[in-house]
Amino acid sequence: MMRTRPLKVALLGCGVVGSEVARIMTTHADDLTARIGAPVELAGVAVRRPSKVREGIDPALVTTDATALVKRGDIDVVVEVIGGIEPARTLITTAFERGASVVSANKALLAQDGAALHAAAVEHGRDLYYEAAVAGAIPLIRPLRESLAGDKVNRVLGIVNGTTNFILDKMDSTGAGYQEALDEATALGYAEADPTADVEGFDAAAKAAILAGIAFHTRVRLDDVYREGMTEVTAADFASAKEMGCTIKLLAICERAADGGSVTARVHPAMIPLDHPLASVRGAYNAVFVEAEAAGQLMFYGPGAGGAPTASAVLGDLVAVCRNRLSGSTGPGESAYTQLPVSPMGDVVTRYHISLDVADKPGVLAQVATVFAEHGVSIDTVRQQGKDGEASLVVVTHRAADAALTGTVDALRKLDTVRGVASIMRVEGE
């Protein structure tokens, strides 16, 4: 039987995503009512600039007092799309205290304080859903949290930032340098005026923390994620990658240790083989590769940002939360029963591509090989080119621990015959 009293929604933020959420709630109102089992009513919209014209939104709903909106006793669901840590954290906890469930797209807050927010939701018997916090429209959190709940996920490897993928794709396909590709991304609206959060990996690191926590049923905070940006990637790195049959992507990598006793979470540029599914992800798209024991290898692909795609994920959560509200139940909350430690980056084992500037004279290769051997790093291939007394030496290793590779590079820099380390790139996906 259809309930006639509407479920009331408070919308915090009405920017690119929030305005799309409001639009879809209005234009798809009848469909949402049929799917949920009750009407859904936009009861208020909290904004910073009330004078701005917002097409399709009744000005009477607009307020600058987000706290008062959340504290209203008739609000059933709060949708938070303002981002940042505060006031979002306080508003969300206040919503729980006042009896509302929450749908959020706030990756930074969830990566930093997800455990506390989940605890608050449980304490007050309410839902906390956040599909939109990772990979935009791509259904990813719900499959990890629900569809694969009976399986054991061992690895999550993905491109989770569209801006960085657009830039690296341009560098790969056109031979452009980093700055040239960034300028094009900015002109097209893919990059913010200050792209630091994207290109330095902060955005991807927050998403990696969320994914690792869900995939491995353990608590992983943003501070646990190793982060390395992509601003030092050059056209020469892409040329080297092509010689190896690879391309370069900024990857978020979450792994369970082989013995199952720990996990790692990291974000950094890496070479991946051209036959890997992630290598063909172009433009501003996202894709995540999941490896589970029973399900095997799964690929999730689609637009990872933008108003409409992200709003689609928000509305999916809104429908689920409203259904739970009507049935008097809650959906799955935090699962952190394994309490696995997060290993430091030094323990991570992978392959490496190292480019050295060296003196072009006999014995250099032998010296370099000796340093690798002394630090227990096995060499797979070596390529050397020289001219006019200077040379470049490209070494590709077998799998080695990051700490061992760091010690090797430190020792190489002390050799008189090594002029400098041009680049170090991890090789993944093999």
Q: Kindly list the catalytic residues.
A: 207
Buried-state track 49-83, b at ≥16 Cβ within 10 A, e below 16: eeeeebeebeeebbeeebeebbbeeebbbbbbbbb
* 417 vs 229: CA distance, rounded Å: 29
Q: Which residue, 208, 221, 195, 210, is CA-closest to 284?
A: 195
User: Which tokens in the block code for residue 218?
Assistant: 């353990």
* 236 vs 229: CA distance, rounded Å: 17
Rg (CA), the chain: 24
Tell me if 174 sits within 8 A of 101, measured CB to CB: no
* 392 vs 353: CA distance, rounded Å: 13
Using DSSP, state whether 129 is helix, strand or coil. Answer: strand
Beta partners for residue 424, in sequence order: 354
- Is the backbone of residue 363 left (phi > 0), alpha (psi -120 to 50) or beta? left
